[in-house]
Amino acid sequence: MIFSFPDRKFSYMTDRNNLFSVNIPNSDKPRVVIIGGGFGGVRAINKLDSNKYQIVLLDRYNYHTFQPLLYQVATAGLEPDSIAGPLRKITKKKKDTYFRMLRVSEVNTDEKTLTTNAGPLNYDYLIVATGAKINFFGNDRLAKHAFPLKQVTHALDLRSHIFQQLEKSEIVTSEKQKKRLMTFVVVGAGPTGVEVCGALAELKNNVLPRDYPQLDVSSMQIHLVEGKNRVLPAMSEKSGEKARQYLEKMGVNIHLETLTDDYDGKIVKLKNGQQIETGTLVWAAGVQGNLINGFGEKSIKKGTLMVNETNHVFKNYETKVIYNDVFALGDVAHMLHEDYPNGLPGLAQSAMQQGEQLAENLNRIAANKPLKAFRYKNKGALATIGRNKAVADLPKIFLSGFIGWFIWMVVHILFLIGFRNKAVVFANWIWNYFTYDRGIRLILRPSSKKKDQMSKEMIQEMHEA
């Protein structure tokens, strides 16, 4: 399908260039501002023609996060640096391309201006690629006590917390307290939840008994709680069933068709009336679009920006009126797409493909060519459960076991940013594979949920029966 682009007139130059507070030099080319250096934003930059556009990338962090491997940081398999790539490494490759580390709070689509914590910035074309944020479905207690896994800092918090719990377990004498410290609950049996449970089970079975000889590590409990009736609900039934078998064999307790009601930091209450005493609840159960302010209610549905098949944000998705110069992609966007009535899958692949297609369309705009509609190429979905255990729904074939796991490894290494990260991750995995070890079990800084690792209050709390 071909879209012709409506009347395009740039108003980019000096009239609005008094807004220089984030110090982007003037240019005689239209300015494309991309908010978010995630999978979609980075792909868009790579493909955008910097002979035709001045490109500005904005992100609240100065690095790209490879979210699929966050769980490995959280469970001591990888260092955080090896799954993060500096965004300047990407922008420095292109001319007239700039990076600014700042947080965007609002867009004014009439003025074509962004409000950021460093001052305003004007754009000619805007790409919103801000991804998703954790959704606790309005439960403040869950938000306070549960561990999310979306950012590098979350993974570091969870890693510290897991090892703080184990250190405390060796100190306390009360069996009740020990049990709570050594019980881990993961909510959400999507790939993240499954991978966290698998990694915890591997720690329990292969690593911790040697580290904590005085502790009865076999009493450590891992629970996976899922509202739907199977594991990996977004993948094929075969994958879900295989993943369930793997996890159960590794000692994970799976609770299907079970909703989580509340968590106060000590007891998880499930909606079926069951309660699990635990000091750790990992929340892998929901995300929602990471919106910036300034879009009207007719642009937003279920917490995401509604876009058409050329990624134009709808001013009004009911009447199909669009903003000519504002685009959104990836997890923050919901594309009205005839093949995907419930939206494209919330995967890195879909963000990357949209980023590339949108950049190509912007290049076409500059060349006065008609735009192409986005078509998603399903390259499959993967989830790993542990060594030699993964499931892979590839377009024409289902794979599991060693082959699935090998494909999972290769794909993840290929998509990491930078040769150094690829090499470090590969070396770590080889080491972990042959030594059955997980070398990064460090509490470098206490979990920010519980600031002081061994405060008086914490020791008091530890000894409470």
Q: Give the pair of three-digit tokens for residue 77.
A: 């398999």
Report d(CA 369, CA 351) in Å as an integer: 24
Which region, judged by CB under 6 A, interacts with ligand FAD, from 266-274, 327-335, 370-378, 395-403? Answer: 327-335
Q: Which of 37, 77, 188, 240 binds ligand FAD (CB under 6 A)?
A: 37
Question: Does the protein bind ligand FAD through residue 58 (CB under 6 A)?
Answer: yes
Q: Which of 60, 230, 238, 422 binds ligand FAD (CB under 6 A)?
A: 60
Question: Does the protein bind ligand FAD through residue 61 (CB under 6 A)?
Answer: yes
Question: Does the protein bind ligand FAD through residue 45 (CB under 6 A)?
Answer: no
Q: Which of 208/292 has CB closer to ligand FAD?
A: 292
Contact 36, 130 (CB under 8 A): yes
SS3 (DSSP) at 378: coil
Q: Which helix (H) or strand (E) holds 1?
A: none
Q: Which of 30/40 has CB closer to ligand FAD?
A: 40
Report d(CA 161, CA 445) in Å as an integer: 10
Q: Which of 83/215 has CB closer to ligand FAD?
A: 83
Least CB distance to ligand FAD at residue 348 (A): 4
Least CB distance to ligand FAD at residue 138 (A): 20
Q: Which of 187, 292, 305, 385 binds ligand FAD (CB under 6 A)?
A: 292
Is 111 designated active site?
no
Pairing of strands 252-255, 221-225: parallel
Which region, judged by CB under 6 A, interacts with ligand FAD, from 123-131, 271-279, 439-447, 455-463? Answer: 123-131
SS3 (DSSP) at 351: helix
Closest residue to bound ligand FAD by CB? 38
How many CB atoms sit inside 10 A of residue 55's CB?
A: 27
Report d(CA 254, CA 231) in Å as an integer: 9
Q: Which of 68, 85, 289, 404 binds ligand FAD (CB under 6 A)?
A: 68
Count of positions on this chain that bind ligand FAD (CB under 6 A): 35
Q: Which of 45, 70, 326, 390 binds ligand FAD (CB under 6 A)?
A: 70
Which region, judged by CB under 6 A, interacts with ligand FAD, from 45-53, 75-83, 227-235, 328-336? Answer: 328-336
Least CB distance to ligand FAD at residue 128 (A): 9
Report d(CA 32, CA 97) in Å as an integer: 10
Report d(CA 412, CA 182) in Å as an integer: 30
Contact 178, 166 (CB under 8 A): no
Which region, judged by CB under 6 A, interacts with ligand FAD, from 46-54, 274-282, 312-320, 345-353? Answer: 345-353
Which residues are CB-neighbours of 143 under 8 A, at least 6 positions away?
Answer: 136
Q: Which of 150/168 has CB closer to ligand FAD?
A: 150
Residue 418's nearest CA partner among 40, 38, 34, 84 is 84
Which residues are CB-neighbours of 137 under 8 A, at least 6 positions away?
Answer: 286
Q: Which residue among the candidates 195, 202, 226, 356 is catalytic per the annotation?
A: 195
Q: Is 26 exposed, middle or buried (0-12, 13-18, 19+ CB in 10 A)?
A: exposed
Question: Does the protein bind ligand FAD through residue 35 (CB under 6 A)?
Answer: yes
Question: Does the protein bind ligand FAD through residue 347 (CB under 6 A)?
Answer: yes
Q: Which of 30, 80, 85, 131 binds ligand FAD (CB under 6 A)?
A: 131
Place of tokens 């549960």: 146
Which residues are CB-neighbours of 228 under 8 A, at least 6 positions away?
Answer: 189, 256, 257
Q: Which of 217/225 has CB closer to ligand FAD?
A: 225
Question: Does the protein bind ligand FAD through residue 192 (CB under 6 A)?
Answer: yes
Q: Which of 72/258 has CB closer to ligand FAD?
A: 72
Please give the angle made by the CA atoms of 79, 102 and 92, to the nearest 5 degrees: 70
Question: Does the protein bind ligand FAD through residue 83 (CB under 6 A)?
Answer: no
Question: Does the protein bind ligand FAD through residue 89 (CB under 6 A)?
Answer: no
| Residue 389 DSSP symbol | E
Q: Which of 30, 85, 188, 191 binds ligand FAD (CB under 6 A)?
A: 191
Question: Does the protein bind ligand FAD through residue 150 (CB under 6 A)?
Answer: yes
How many CB atoms sit inside 10 A of residue 180's CB?
A: 23
Pairing of strands 300-301, 287-289: unpaired
Report d(CA 258, CA 188) in Å as an integer: 10
Contact 149, 71 (CB under 8 A): yes
Least CB distance to ligand FAD at residue 355 (A): 7
Q: Which of 172/252 has CB closer to ligand FAD?
A: 252
Q: What is the dihedral of CA 267, 270, 276, 282, to 10 degrees?
A: -80
Contact 16, 124 (CB under 8 A): no
Least CB distance to ligand FAD at residue 331 (A): 4
Q: Which of 82/349 has CB closer to ligand FAD?
A: 349
Q: Which of 79, 202, 331, 356 binds ligand FAD (CB under 6 A)?
A: 331
Could you list the residues that contact ligand FAD (CB under 6 A)?
Answer: 35-41, 58-61, 65, 67-68, 70-71, 103-104, 129-131, 149-150, 191-192, 290, 292, 330-332, 346-349, 351
Residues tagged active-site? 195
